[in-house]
Structure 1
Amino acid sequence: MAERLTIGTRGSPLALAQAHEAQDRLAQSLGWSAEQLPLNLIKTTGDTIQDRALSEAGGKGLFTKELDNELLDGRIDLAVHSSKDLPTVLPEGIVIAGYFPREDVRDAFISRRAASLSDLPQGAVVGTASLRRQAQVLRLRPDLKVTLLRGNVETRLAKLDRGEVDATLLAMAGLRRLGLTEHVTAVLDTADFLPAVGQGAIAIAVREKDARVHEALAPILHAETGYALAAERAFLSVLDGSCRTPIAGHARLEGGALVLRGLVLRPDGSDSLSVTKTGAPQDAEALGREAGLDLKARMPAGFLNI
């Protein structure tokens, strides 16, 4: 094995925290120095768009396509991604090698005006860039106003402090990785507020036929997270999930079985359909597809239109 692997990452603070985790895990596993695992910071289209929702600009691939190009061209050996940013179909020649152990999957409610979502005053403004969060907020509190809030975690917190919005929702995983959990007002239970598919999981993308990189990564990948994400991503794929669709999904091992909960909502939160499926971990993809087909069969025409 050549004594060097280049890690591709976006340049946001959260992306860098995740890339450094990959660097640290590989260094410890391989017995290498950080210098043998350099980071290549790559600006993506998604990073440059701050004035509109990603759903209006092309969806999830906006955070990955530049890293995909660098990977296919051989300028990086692996790419570190937030799993929820990955499109359901990857470019030919690229695969997800696996995932690191999953962080907290829950969403955090953050506000300077209220102790919880239910305590916000009528008509309060909640800022988010996620249609999933928007739909679930409006399902619980149809009286609230939801507005677009883009930017990295620190930018969103600064906008909250300036009073541009009354509250926002962020992933607990990102706040933990950035050491910013002191900002959390309340943590939302997954029973009431289901996370995005892939939330909390770091995915490693590689060239499909690069045996050297697959071999280097194998000892540090987490099988349990892999089963969960296989089910969740198969579920999302059946529903043609993108940033344009309010879909939530979460799978986890319970007593040796894989349990998947899925949810699809109208964008205005006025209606929703849910599904729960249980099966063997090795049947994760089939389980996810079954859950997606179940919801698809029950979804009325025009369900995703406000």
Structure 2
Amino acid sequence: MGVMDGKVALVTGAARGVGRAVALEMARAGAAVVVNDLGVSLSGEGGGDAQPAEEVVAEIAAIGGRAIANYGSVARWDDAQAMVRAAIDAFGRIDAVVNNAGNLRDVLFHKMTEEDFDAVVGVHLKGTFNVSRAAAPYFKEQGGGAYVHMSSTSGLVGNFGQANYAAAKLGIIALSKSIALDMQRFNVRSNAVAPFAWTRMVSSIPTDTPEQQQRVEGLKKLVPEKVAALCVALCSDAAAGVTGQIFGSRNNEIYLFSQPRPIRTAHTADGWTPEAIIERVIPQFRNDFYPLHRSGEVFTWDPV
């Protein structure tokens, strides 16, 4: 008996990397799977290639599982509706959505175009909304369901040249929490995962210096399968009551991330003026200001 026996899962961006690993792990756990993938380049461009998604479907069939391929774009409302409908038509229900589809257009902020920004936010943040919203009526009607949304430490901590990606990934955190709050009464759960894995999404990291080369060699140890296990666990009935949380998976480590809460306060009975804030508040808070860290400066130890 698998933890997802009798369940149906939709995994977006499921032809490669973390998405592929999640789709296969869902099948091993007993779920029927909709393998969604648009089959485009890392930047989201190209005419679309059906073969990668079909190969994952074949892999699932080879281990005795059930799966269908879907080639819709999460960035399009109608496509998101159709991929959820495909799950209902093929398998009779939908129980889990893993929002994994993504693209990258890394560029320094002062050089970023509107198209660069919109293309990435449209897939990550709007795509997560589209697919989640498409599944919501079915989850509500059946009185249960689970979402897992892929975030990133690029949004939680920060990274260089990724304003579009970081904004989308931090937005997904807020979206996940809002879904958890709004749909709790229907027994629907929503959690976010920041995955650490060597995939084509991170393979563009520069290797111009020995330090960068050393970091990349460490990242190559991070296999997508370790992320997949966490995603499947969060979608299972055994994770009932786990909602509105932010997790991370880094090889054999699993994290629970903090969420923003006040850490210092300053009060005056007379109200604040700009001059008083400059004189009193900023010096009082300065020791607790966060430095401009990048993700790699926070997660400095070797994967275990």
TM over 0.5: same fold?
Answer: no
TM-score range, shorter chain: 0.3 to 0.5
Structure number with bigger Rg: 2
Structure (1 or 2) with the greater strand fraction? 1
> Structure with the greater relative contact order (CA < 8 A, sep ≥ 6): 1 or 2?
1
TM-score, length-scaled by structure 2: 0.34
Structure 1-normalised TM-score? Answer: 0.34
